Amino acid sequence: MSDSIESRLKEDRRFQPSEEFSKQARVASHAEYTSMYRKSLDEPEEFWREQTFDLVFRTPWKTFAEWDLPRAKFFVGATLNLTESCLDRHLSTDGRTKAAIVWEGEPGDVRTLTYWELHREVLRLAATLADLGVQAGDRVAIYMGMVPETAVAMLACARLGATHSVIFGGFSAEALRDRINDCGAKILLTQDGAWRRGNVVPLKKMADEALASTPTIEKAIVLRRIGPEKCPAPMKEGRDLWWDDALARRPSEAALALAKNPPAFDAEHPLFILYTSGSTGKPKGVMHTTAGYLAGAHVTTKYVFDIRPGDLYWCTADVGWVTGHSYFVYGPLSCGASVMMYEGAPNAPDWSRFWSIIEKHGVTILYTAPTAIRAFIRAGDDWPAKHDLSSLRLLGSVGEPINPEAWTWYHRVIGGGRCPIVDTWWQTETGSIMLTTLPGACYSKPGSTGLPSFGVDIAVVKDRGDECQPNEGGKLVIRRPWPSMARTLWADDERYLKTYWDVMPNVYFTGDGARRDEDGYFWVVGRIDDVLNVAGHRIGTAEIESALVSHPAVAEAAAVGKPDELKGQALVVFVTLKAGHDAKDLKAKLAEHIDKEIGKFARPDAIRFTDSLPKTRSGKIMRRLLKEVASGNAETKGDTSTLEDFSVLAKLRADDD
Ligand code: PRX
């Protein structure tokens, strides 16, 4: 069977879902998708009313949308407590006994929380937070690993209307401190440590370093995941509380009542802030609000992952990134799905870990990233072959372009030739999936991220805004506001306007380059701004550069990406040193410096020392040329007429060993 699919793919590069899959899917044909898509643009009010019937609103909305670009509001006039859609509403159906989260720790421990239990945990933590003085509008930082309590923490904040900011556990103490200070968080939720490839990531230790200079933090609540033997976590008197101890205290009646019967908030109430990289050194606090975000995450989860009763859905992304927010927590829980959660690394203890989890728990939908798929390909087919993956029925990809080879392997080896693949394009700022193929309705083309999601008016345009011809490359823009779009950057609205809305009049600029083919399918090439995508992590070149120049030996630094088979892009930095400093021994020191300033995941793949960097006559570093040098291109493409000193480039090339 898979052979004939392979040859069909070679013939026309299309993969048509099987009739059997389509018959059971929510949207069964291309015509049905098209008519729903048209309705979402032409009669949005009606479309969203139909599609959000199962979400819980306390006050219905008066108008679906009001906009005066770049400002937009959705579900205007509605009030809701979002957690009622994710938790309470399922308790009256099968949620009392249905698994909400099936969790496997890296050492192999397993826990299942039913919707009933998850609801209870959220209420307990919400009441505790309320007693600690957390109120609607306060910010709460969450610096945790992949344990169910991280989802509990997010939902407990949402229950109280506190705005959470999850900071990925791979970030360093300094990165954590900057993010806490930027959003002015009052409480930090963390854990002693997290398991990663058999080692302990000492989260509390790093949190302690960060909290030495975070004036707004009043309390830290610490979950004990590892224990004192392997991960000592000294507690600071008056500030730190163990999670279990805090929850063991009986909450006040008022706090209990608040958690049980939570207030409803305005549709535009800030739900979370999530920091991401941009083209300047300072991370951007992308802010999402409540109803529009929930609606976007809910509707896309329902249709793109085609959630059905009996599914066990697994999104492998860390909850510290937007994929974890929308497609591990809010989207799936609002659909009442059972979600798989795994704590550790994909190769712990070996490369069969994912496949053993799928077999053991009966995962039906897998949503992961191309960089992981390429690592699995490299590790070899023997690992998946050891496991029965026949429970899988749908596969997803996110985070970077998936190369057709990886697509084909994923389809054949993991999907057994029978599972459709949904390649989903979106961003932290878009909140939910913007481009994909609905699995039972549309064929996919390996390497293309497909067609627009409902309500998404997206296009590829030239610099001045005219739409490109089919297959002509241009900028990817969204021409109409959509419910789950970011509303601002926390405490930096000016930057929000400048980054997304000032590039072209009245359209949202994604920062990506793309083309749309003759069938209307989008092909995203990648970032065209100063942002890199290294192994699915979004890294700003300016962020790396400012971290490097904060080292006493560094005079100047330039960070660029070069194509990499495994990571998609690899990070190469060019560094000039201050007088009196020797490059000897500095490579390791600079790598450690990046670990400290940002986190290990941002470590450069190569550090190259040079006497000078190629610059324009006005003193701007010509990153384009460095990119070519990093990629080993002998010839210089494009215009070099503004380059001040040609010998710099020649020397960099000569050094290229
Ligand atoms: O360049 C695009 C790439 O990831 C960027 C967004 O990164 P982030 O905000 O961290 O969110 C990642 C997960 C949604 C985009 O601007 N990207 C994301 N998904 C795809 C992609 N590039 C190509 N194909 C995709 N499916």
User: Each residue of 112-140: pLDDT tens digit?
Assistant: 999 999 999 999 999 999 999 999 999 99
Q: Is the dihedral of CA 207, 210, 213, 216 positive or negative?
A: negative
pLDDT confidence of residue 634 = 66
Q: How far is CA 628 from CA 24, 34, 254, 623, 656, in A?
A: 49, 42, 63, 9, 11
Q: How many CB atoms lie within 10 A of CB 619?
A: 7
- Burial class for 360, CB neighbours closer than 10 Å (0-12, 13-18, 19+): middle
| Best CA proximity match to 524, nearest among 447, 458, 454 | 447
Q: Where are the domains of the chain?
A: 1-42+424-528, 535-656
pLDDT in tens, 229-245: 999 999 999 999 999 99
Determine the pLDDT at residue 458: 98
Segment 97-103 shows an average pLDDT of 97
| Neighbouring residues of 506: CB distance < 8 A, sequence distance ≥ 6 | 69, 70, 479
Using the predicted structure, report yes or no on whether residue 203 has a pLDDT greater than 90: yes
Helix (H) or strand (E) holding 404: helix 404-409
Q: Which CATH class is domain 1-42+424-528?
A: mainly beta
Pairing relation of β-strands 508-516 and 522-527?
antiparallel
The kind and range of the H/E element at 315 are strand 312-315
Q: Which residue's CA is the closest to the ligand 1 atom numbered 12?
A: 399
What the block records as the tokens of 220 is: 């830290």
> Which of 533, 539, 569, 601 has most ligand 1 atoms within 8 Å of CB, for mutation?
533
Query: Per-residue pLDDT averaged across 4-20, rounded?
Result: 69
Q: For residue 93, report the phi and psi dihedrals to the nearest 5 degrees.
A: -100, -125
Given this model, what pLDDT does residue 95 score? 84
Q: Which atom of ligand 1 is nearest to the CA of 317?
A: 13
Pairing label, strands 219-223, 187-191: parallel
The per-residue pLDDT for 169 is 96
Q: Ligand 1: residues whose CB is within 6 Å? A: 276, 322-323, 398-401, 423-428, 449, 510-512, 524, 526-527, 533, 538
pLDDT, one tens digit per residue, over 522-535 is 999 999 988 999 99
Looking at residues 380-389, what average pLDDT do you find? 98
Closest to 469 measured CA to CA, from 460, 477, 458: 460
Question: What is 535-656's CATH number, 3.30.300.30, 1.10.150.450, 3.20.20.150, 3.40.50.2300?
Answer: 3.30.300.30
Ligand 1 centroid to residue 539 C-alpha, Å: 12
Residues near 14 by beta carbon (within 8 Å), at least 6 away in sequence: 8, 443, 444, 445
Query: Ligand 1: distance of its center to the CA of 458 in Å?
Result: 15
624: pLDDT confidence band, cut at 50, 70 and 90? confident
What pLDDT score was predicted for residue 313?
98
> Which residue among 425, 432, 458 is best mutated to probe the pocket of ligand 1, counting the most ligand atoms within 8 A of its Cβ?
425
Phi-psi map region of 369: left, alpha, beta (phi>0 left; psi -120 to 50 alpha)? beta
Region of residue 514 (left: phi > 0; alpha: psi -120 to 50; beta: else): beta
Band of pLDDT at residue 636, cut at 50, 70 and 90: low
Cα of 359 vs centre of ligand 1, distance in Å, is 29
Q: Which residue has the tokens 């163990």?
A: 242
Model pLDDT, residue 652: 80
Mean pLDDT, residues 85-103: 94
* Percent of the chain whose predicted confidence (pLDDT) is above 90: 86
Q: Would the pLDDT of 151 be above 60?
A: yes
Q: Could you tell me the two tokens for 599?
A: 């986190």
**Which pLDDT value is given to residue 391?**
98
User: Is 470 a residue whose pLDDT tops 70?
Assistant: yes
Band of pLDDT at residue 640, cut at 50, 70 and 90 = confident
pLDDT at 572 over 80: yes
Distance from chain centroid for Cα 554? 32
Check: CB of residue 270 under 8 Å from CB of residue 163: yes
The count of other CB atoms within 10 Å of the CB of residue 21 is: 18
Is the backbone of residue 282 left (phi > 0), alpha (psi -120 to 50) or beta?
beta
Listed range (1-10, 37-46, 84-93, 484-493) with the worst mean pLDDT: 1-10
Protein residue with its CA nearest to atom 8 in ligand 1: 427
